[in-house]
Copies of this chain bind each other. A is one copy, B any other.
Amino acid sequence: MQVVNTRIPVALLGATGLVGQRLVAALEGHPNFALSCVAASARSVGRPYGEAVHWRLPGAIPTAAAKLVVEPCDPAHVKARLVFSAIDAEVAYDTEAGFAAAGRVVVSNARSHRMAPDVPLLIPEINATHLELIEQQRSTRGWGGFIVTNPNCSTIGLCLALAPLQASVGIESVIVTTLQAISGAGYPGVSAMDLLDNVVPFVPGEEAKIESEPKKIFGHISASGVASCALEISSQTHRVPVMDGHLLAISLRTRERISPQRARRLFEEYRAPGEIVALPSSPERLFRVASAEDRPQPRLDRNAGHGMTVTVGRLRSCPVLDLRFEALSHNTVRGAAGGTLLIAELLAARGLLP
């Protein structure tokens, strides 16, 4: 079909993991991108993707992807100019740098490069201006390509839920308790013994990310990279027996005391920049305000806007800080595969792909 020829070829590093699988599924039928190469660790190399992967998503493996032979995560074997990385943080640092050095554009889910001052940590609706860092990154590092990173899945939900408030009244401090889905831990990930008749008050590594990444995302570009914004965050993370959808219980203090009514209006009236709304993975509405007093709920609300919409609810005054509410976002769509696609779509729209 003609259309296919015009789609941009994309390679996927770490294609056999759970985020990789979500990306494979999301790329099926994508209007701009065509999955042309899957790469993974040595164990899978040389096998057809359909055999190498232990597919954990409902539905069958996309037929075309199933036939791709798995390549090593090496620019010599991976020809595409646009590369999505879903590889483990342990190996991501060097591997992704290698691809960028080899002239490729890397959109990464790994945490390895997220906090580097010259690497955009991007949520397109919030800090598309941080793409200015790319020039700085390339010139400093002498790379032909560059790296853009997708934040942690909890960070994304939190920052989106804070964005309209931050833009209008400014936020001083946030206390957030997370109830996080198991898909965030990959497969096999969490043992069934740990989450049957149980919740676990700790998600390894998560709290440090939730407390630091938003400061960069809401930060401003300066000569030396991104300057962190002043925003104090305290998080207590929990793993709960939910497949997908991170729920956040948020209390916050704003610079000018905000009423729940005004906060509600900010969410309802929010419109993403036209440039973002035009992207294929952008939801029609970034926010949905639940009216029922027992919502948002992961099972019922996570797929709003094809998993790209954030649902907020229970907006009330907080007797200790100013405002409290609940926010839900889909951790493997908005928080991983969908967020990655949205970034790549923005790069394409801005003509930043080679």
Contacts and interface: CB of A to CB of B under 8 A. Distances in A.
Given A191-B192, A201-B294, A238-B179, A303 B58 contact: yes
A44 interface: no
Given A243-B197, A296-B201, A298-B199, A236 B192 contact: no
Contacts of A179: 179, 199, 238, 240
Contact of A175 (B56, B59, B241, B251): B251
B238 A241 contact: no
Contacts of A194: 188, 192, 297
Interface in A235-264: 236, 238, 240-243, 247, 249, 251, 253
B182 A320 contact: no
Nearest to A191: B188
A74 interface: no
A249 B234 contact: no
B319 A211 contact: yes
B314 A236 contact: yes
Contacts of A11: none
A9 to B, nearest CB: 29
Contact of A192 (B177, B189, B251): B189
A296 to B, nearest CB: 7
A173 B320 contact: yes
B314 A202 contact: yes
Contact of A298 (B198, B293, B302, B313): B198
Residue with the highest number of chain B CB atoms closer than 10 Å, among A174, A234, A296, A318: A234
A249 B233 contact: no
A294 B200 contact: yes
19 contacts: A56-B300, A58-B302, A175-B318, A182-B193, A182-B196, A189-B192, A190-B192, A191-B191, A192-B194, A192-B195, A194-B297, A195-B196, A196-B243, A196-B299, A201-B247, A202-B293, A202-B314, A234-B251, A238-B247
